[in-house]
Amino acid sequence: MRIVLLGPPGAGKGTQAVMLAEKKGFLHLSTGDILRENVKNKTDIGRKAKEFMEKGELVPDDIVLRMMLDTIKNARGKNDFILDGFPRTVYQAKKLDKELDKLKLAIDMAVYFKTSTKTVIFRLTGRRLCSKCGANYHIVNMPTKKQGVCDKCGSELYQRKDDSEETIKKRLEVYDNQTKDLIDYYKAQGILKEVSGDLEAPKVYSELSEILNTCKPDDRHKVRK
């Protein structure tokens, strides 16, 4: 099954994708994580993407598309995957559909995390990440046992540069102007589902699990042929 997670920054897409990967064996493909890895390793993609990411703007479609379509093709043996942060524009979504079609695959479900602005600002300003294993925490909602230290590997936590209040505002604006239209795009395909992103993480996960149980991917492939 192939699932797209949609929603504003801080809606909890990454948190739920990690849970689904751990508990149900999905491959988790996060554009943000892949881009940040490229920035860290100073690759060609990383050098081009850095300034856009730091400003809270979208990285140009051509860069992201090449990177993600290659990732999906190379992951072909593993056909159950979750796309977290991709597509982010209707243009990206159309290109993705076209590419999946060539591989005789399709997106089976897009899950929209309906989340209030107040919640996302609170979550993003309080988010902390492990500098080594990437584990995700929140200073209030999901604190570590020892302040500033990762529970899983004992490494130091850090705050993402784009999690400053000013950049968060920009990211929300970009989401409203460039990403929100994807809700209608997937609604028109009849594959849009919704979860309440404002709820606590285990409750969101249980809504997601219920939705997953109702999805029959084979039906969708029949429609596409």
Q: What is the rounded distance in angstroms from the CA atom of residue 7 to the CA atom of residue 127?
A: 17
Going from the C-alpha of 150 to that of each of 6, 37, 156, the distances in angstroms are 27, 19, 6
Q: Which residue in the set 26, 81, 86, 185 belongs to the binding site for ligand AP5 (CB under 6 A)?
A: 86
Q: How far is the CB of 106 from ligand AP5 (least distance, A)?
A: 19
Nearer to ligand AP5, 94 or 216 (CB): 94
58 makes contact with ligand AP5 (CB under 6 A): yes
Angle at 175 between CA 182 and CA 178, to 5 degrees: 55
* CB 97, min distance to ligand AP5, A: 14
Q: How many helices (H) and strands (E) does the chain have?
A: 10, 8
E-strand ranges in the chain read 2-6, 27-30, 81-84, 109-114, 127-130, 136-138, 157-158, 192-196
In the range 186-225, which residues lie near ligand AP5 by CB under 6 A? Answer: 199-201, 204
Beta bridge partners of 114: 196
Active-site residues, by number, are: 13, 88, 127, 160, 171
Examine residue 35 and tell whether it contacts ligand AP5 (CB under 6 A).
yes
Residue of closest CB approach to ligand AP5: 32
- Residue 127 engages ligand AP5 in binding (rule: CB under 6 A): yes
Question: Least distance to ligand AP5 from the beta carbon of 108, Å?
Answer: 19
Binding residue for ligand AP5 (CB under 6 A) from 43, 71, 79, 136? Answer: 136
Separation of alpha carbons 48 and 42, rounded Å: 9
Q: Cα separation of 111 and 133, whole Å?
A: 26
Footprint on this chain of ligand AP5 (rule: CB under 6 A): 7, 9-15, 31-32, 35, 52-53, 56-59, 64, 85-88, 92, 123-124, 127, 136-138, 141-142, 162, 171, 199-201, 204
